[in-house]
Amino acid sequence: MLKTIKTFWQSIRQLSGDDAYERYLKHHAEHGESENMPPLLSREEFFKQWQDGEWKGIKRCC
Amino acid sequence: MMNKTLKIIIWFAVALLGAFALSAIALNRGESINALWLITAAVCIYAIAYRFYAAWIAAKVLVIDETRATPAERLDNGRDYIPTNKWIVFGHHFAAIAGPGPLIGPTLAAQFGYLPGTLWILIGAVLGGAVQDMVTLFFSTRRDGRSLGQMARDEIGAIGGTAALIGTFMIMIILIAVLGLVVVNAMKHSPWATSTVAATIPIAMFIGLYMRNIRPGRVLEASAIGVSLLLFSVLAGGWIDHSETLRVFFDHEGLPLAYAIIVYGFAAAVLPVWLLLAPRDYLSTFMKLGTVLLLAIAIVILRPDIHMPAVTQFTDGSGPIFGGKLFPFVFITIACGAISGFHALISSGTTPKLLMNERDIRMIGYGAMLLESFVAIMAMIAATVLEPGVFFAINSPAGVVGSSAIDAVAKINSWGFAVTVEQMNQLAKDMGESSLFARTGGAPSLAVGMASIFGSAFGKHLLALWYHFAIMFEAIFILTTLDAGTRVGRFMLQDMLGNFNKKLGETSYTPSVIFTSAIVVAGWGYFLYIGVIDPNGGVNILWPLFGIANQMLAAIALCVATGILVKSGKLKYAWVTALPLAWLVIITTTAAYQKIFSDDIRVGFFAAANDLSAKLASGVLPVDKAAVAPQLIFNQHLDAYLTMFFVAVLWVVIIDMLAVCARHLRGKLVLPLSEVPHIETQLDNLWVRD
C-alpha cells in the first residue's frame, strides 16, 4: 500500500516536472564522464533552461 | 485452457453489455434515459476496440517491434529525448491533446439531440481519431520523432509538407478566435466570472515568480498554492458580485472584453514563458484533470437522467445554435472527441521522443484518444441533462430567438420545448448571473450542466459557486490554449519569415518577436472582433470553420499515414487509415460546399452576405445593425474564400498522395521510406527506468 502511494507520488512529481532537477543530476552522473557534457547547472539555472525548452514546440491542443 | 475460456466469456459479456447499452440509448423513445447507459455503452465500446482493433493494428498493420530501440533510447540526451515510463508518457500526451474542444463541440452538437453526437463520438474515436493518433505516433517514432509537416515532405513531397504547415497555422488562428469568443461570452455582463478569470492572471504570475525566484523548480508546491488561490478567487468573485461598488469594474459588454483578451494574448506571447504561460499551464492542467475526474465521479454517483430527446427536429438544418443539416454538420461540429487533426501534431514531435518501447504506442496513441472521447461523452451528458428548453434558451443567439426574454421563450416554446421566463430568471439567480439568455459558445450551458450535476452530488446550496468554478475551469485552460497557440503561431511565422530575412527568423530577436506576435494576434483578434459584433453570436460561423480546418488537418495526417502504408507494401491494410480518410474527405468537402454555395442564409456564407447587402441597400436594418453590416458582409466573403482555401489544400494533398501511391504500385520511383534502420534495444524489458 505504502509502495503504491510512493509510486503514485513519484509519477505526479515526474509528470509535473517537480523532480526534473533530480533526474538531471542523475542523468549527469550517469553520462557525465563519458560524454563531453557542459558543467553541472545550478537548480535555478537548470530550471530556467528546462522551462524554456518545454515551450519550444506545440505542447497544447484544442 | 480454462483461463482462455474465461477470457472469451468475459469479452463476450463486455460485447453483449455494450450492444445492450447501445441499443438502449439508440432505440429509446420514452421520456428520458439514464446517463449511465451512455457511460456503459462508451466504456464497453472502448474496451472492445482497444482490446481487439487497436491490438490488431499494432500487431498486423504496423507490426510493432519490441526489440527495436526507440528514438528516446538511441538519442537520449536527458532533455527532449528521454526514455520514460509509459504511464508518465500517457499523462503528458493526454494533458497535451485534451483541451477545451471536446467540451464545446458536443455541447453545441446537442441541438440535434443526444444520439447523433454520441454515436459519432464513439464511432469516430475508435475507427478514426484513435487510429490517426496511434499510427501517427508510430510513424513518427520510426522517424526519430519527426513532425507531421516533415513527414509529409519526406514521404509525399514538398506540396504536402507546405500544406500541413499552412493548415496548422490557419487552424491556430481560427481556434484561438473561437476560444476567445467562448470566454468573452462567458464573461459578458458577469462580474463574478470576469473578476475570477481576471484574477487567474496575477495568480499565474505570482506562481511563475515563485517557481523562478522564491523556490526555484518546486513545481508541485507552487501549483498547490496556485490552485488554492484559484479556488479562493472563485469565492472572492462572489463577494465582488455582491458589492455594488466593486461589481461595476467587472461588468462589461462583449467588445471591451474582447479587446482585453486581445491585449492579454499579445502580452502572453511576448512575455517570457516562465512569467505567465508555464505557471498558467500547471494550474490549468491540474484543474482540468481534477474537474474531469470529479465530473466522472459525480455522474456515476448521481446517475442523472437525460432530458434532451434522442433526435430533435433540428436535424433538418434549422437549428438555432448553428445552421446546417445533421449530415455533415454533426461531424464538423464534433471534431475533438471524435477525430481531431491537431492531435497528429502532438503525436508527432513531443510524445515519440519519450517512448521507451514501441509496445507502449497502443496505450498512448489509441488509449489517450479514447479517454478524450470519454471526456466528450461527459460533456454531452452535461449538456443533455438540462431541460431542452433551458438548453436552447442559454445557447440560442439573440439574432435567432430575439433579444427580449419573452420573445426568446415564445420562440423556444414554439419549437415544442417547455421553458418559462420565471424558470430562466430563477436559474440565473441560482447560478449568480444576471441573465442566462443567449449565452452562446457552450461554456455557460456546460457550466450550468456541471453545476447542476455537482450541486446534486455534493451540495445544492453551492450552485452559484459550482457554476463559477466551472466557468473558471473552462476559462483557465482556454486561455492556456490561447497563450500557447499564439506562441506556436509566432514561432511558425518566424520560421517562415526566416526564409526571407534571417533576422526575422531569430526567436530571441525582440523586434521580430513583437512584429510576428502582433501579426498572429491581429489574425485571431480580427475574427474574435467580428464574432463579438455579429448578432448571431459568431460561434455559429467560427465553430464550423474551425471544425472544417481541424478535420482537414486530420485528413492530411491520414493521407501521410495511408501513403506510408502503401509504400511499405501494406496495400491490403491501407483501408485502416484510408476509410476514415475517405469519410473525412466526404464530410469536409460537403460541409465546405454547403458553407460556400448553400442558399440558406444560415448556412451559406455568400447567401448570408447577399441577404445582408440587400437588407442594407433597402434600408430595413436598424441603425446599430446597419453600422456593422459592411464589416459582417466583408467577413462572410472572407470566410467563404477561407473555406475554399481549406478544401483546395485538402484536395491537393490527397491528389498528391494518390499520385505517389499510384507511382509506387506501378513500380515507378517514389520518395524512399524515411524510416530509420532497426537497432536492437539495449533497455532491459524488466528494468523500468525511474
Q: What is the DSSP letter of B131?
A: H
CA–CA separation, B31 and B407 (whole Å): 27
**Closest residue of A to B103, CA-based?**
A62
Side chain identity at residue B182, one-letter code: V
Is the distance from CB of A31 to CB of B78 less than 8 angstroms?
A: yes
Query: A12 in a domain, yes or no?
Result: yes
Q: What pLDDT, in 10s, does the model give residues A44-59? A: 888 888 888 888 778 8
**Closest residue of B to A47, CA-based?**
B217
Structural domain boundaries, residue A47: 2-31+39-52
CA–CA separation, B45 and B32 (whole Å): 22
Given CB atoms, is A16 within the 8 Å cutoff of chain B?
Answer: yes
Containing B671, the helix (H) or strand (E) segment is none
Given CB atoms, is A34 within the 8 Å cutoff of chain B?
Answer: no
Q: pLDDT: is A26 or B468 the higher one?
A: B468
Q: Check residue B168 and give its pLDDT.
A: 83
Residue B234 makes CB contacts below 8 A (sequence gap 6+) with B196, B465, B468, B469, B472
Confidence of residue A61 (pLDDT cuts 50, 70, 90): confident
Q: What pLDDT, in 10s, does the model give residues B129-173? A: 999 999 999 999 999 999 999 999 999 999 888 888 888 898 889
- Chain B residue numbers touching A46 (CB-CB < 8 A): 217
Q: Which ranges constitute the DSSP H helices of B498-622?
A: 510-533, 539-567, 575-597, 605-618
- The backbone torsions φ and ψ at residue B294, rounded to the nearest 5 degrees and listed phi first, read -60, -40
**Residue B477 pLDDT more than 60?**
yes
Query: Taking all residues of chain B, what is their mean pLDDT, rounded to a whole number?
Result: 93
CA–CA separation, B203 and B614 (whole Å): 50
Containing B100, the helix (H) or strand (E) segment is none
Count how many domains chain A has.
1
Name which of B530, B528, B531, B503 is nearest B515 in CA terms.
Answer: B503
Query: A21 in a domain, yes or no?
Result: yes
Least CB–CB distance from A15: residue in B91, B212, B484: B91
Q: Check residue B78 and give its pLDDT.
A: 77
Is the distance from CB of B269 to CB of B520 less than 8 angstroms?
A: yes
Given CB atoms, is B216 within the 8 Å cutoff of chain A?
Answer: yes
**Lowest-confidence pick of B10-19, B259-268, B486-495, B552-561:** B486-495
B231 by Cβ neighbours in 10 Å (0-12 / 13-18 / 19+) ranks as: middle
Side chain identity at residue B227, one-letter code: V
Side chain identity at residue B121, one-letter code: I
Using a pLDDT cut of 70, give the percent of chain B over it.
99
B306 SS3 class: strand
Interchain pair A61, B342: CB under 8 A:
yes
B685 SS3 class: coil
Q: Check residue B690 and give its pLDDT.
A: 45
Residue B572 makes CB contacts below 8 A (sequence gap 6+) with none
Look at domain B2-189+252-665 and name its CATH class.
mainly alpha
B680 SS3 class: strand
Query: A60 in a domain, yes or no?
Result: no
Using a pLDDT cut of 90, give the percent of chain B over it.
83
Is the distance from CB of B590 to CB of B689 less than 8 angstroms?
A: no
Residue B461 makes CB contacts below 8 A (sequence gap 6+) with none
Least CB–CB distance from A13: residue in B96, B220, B281: B220
The three grid cell numbers given for residue B86, joined into one nine-digit string: 509509459
Residue-wise over A16-43: b if at least 16 C-beta within 10 A, else e? bbbbbbebbbebbeeeeeeeeeeeebeb
Alpha-carbon Rg of chain A, whole angstroms? 15
**Closest residue of A to B278, CA-based?**
A51
Q: Check residue B267 and give its pLDDT.
A: 93
Q: What pLDDT, in 10s, does the model give residues B358-385? A: 999 999 999 999 999 999 999 999 999 9
Q: How many CB pairs under 8 A join A and B?
A: 108
B34 SS3 class: strand
**Closest residue of A to B336, CA-based?**
A62
Q: How remote is the C-alpha of B513 from its chain's centroid?
A: 27
CA–CA separation, B149 and B162 (whole Å): 7
B393 by Cβ neighbours in 10 Å (0-12 / 13-18 / 19+) ranks as: buried
Name which of B325, B300, B444, B314 is nearest B377 in CA terms.
Answer: B300
Cα torsion B117, B118, B120, B121 to 10°: value is 110
CA–CA separation, B487 and B478 (whole Å): 14
Cis-peptide into B328, omega within 30 deg: yes
Q: How far is B216 from chain A (nearest CA, A)?
A: 6
Q: Check residue B689 and give its pLDDT.
A: 46
Q: Check residue A33 and give its pLDDT.
A: 60
Side chain identity at residue B310, one-letter code: A
Residue B532 makes CB contacts below 8 A (sequence gap 6+) with B181, B184, B254, B255, B257, B258, B538
Containing B33, the helix (H) or strand (E) segment is strand B33-34
B417 SS3 class: coil
- What residues 286-345 of chain B have any CB closer than 8 A to a CB of chain A? 335-336, 340, 342-343, 345
Given CB atoms, is A40 within the 8 Å cutoff of chain B?
Answer: no
Residue B386 makes CB contacts below 8 A (sequence gap 6+) with B307, B308, B394, B445, B448, B449, B452
Q: What pLDDT, in 10s, does the model give residues B294-334? A: 999 999 999 999 999 999 999 999 999 999 999 999 999 99
Number of Cβ within 10 Å of residue B214's Cβ equals 12
Q: What pLDDT, in 10s, does the model give residues B216-255? A: 989 999 999 999 999 999 999 999 999 999 999 999 999 9
The three grid cell numbers given for residue B131, joined into one nine-digit string: 487510429
Confidence of residue A29 (pLDDT cuts 50, 70, 90): confident
A38 SS3 class: coil
Q: How remote is the C-alpha of B561 from its chain's centroid?
A: 22
CA–CA separation, B388 and B394 (whole Å): 10
Confidence of residue B200 (pLDDT cuts 50, 70, 90): very high
Given CB atoms, is B175 within the 8 Å cutoff of chain A?
Answer: yes
CA–CA separation, B268 and B255 (whole Å): 20
B615 by Cβ neighbours in 10 Å (0-12 / 13-18 / 19+) ranks as: middle
B75 SS3 class: coil
Query: A13 in a domain, yes or no?
Result: yes
Residues in chain A, total: 62
- What residues 480-509 of chain B have any CB closer than 8 A to a CB of chain A? 480-481, 484-485, 487-488, 491
DSSP letter string, B212-266: IIISTT-HHHHHHHHHHHHHHHHHHHHHHHH-HHHHGGG---HHHHHHHHHHHHH
Interchain pair A47, B550: CB under 8 A:
no
Number of Cβ within 10 Å of residue B245's Cβ equals 7
- Chain B residue numbers touching A41 (CB-CB < 8 A): none
The three grid cell numbers given for residue B43, joined into one nine-digit string: 466504456
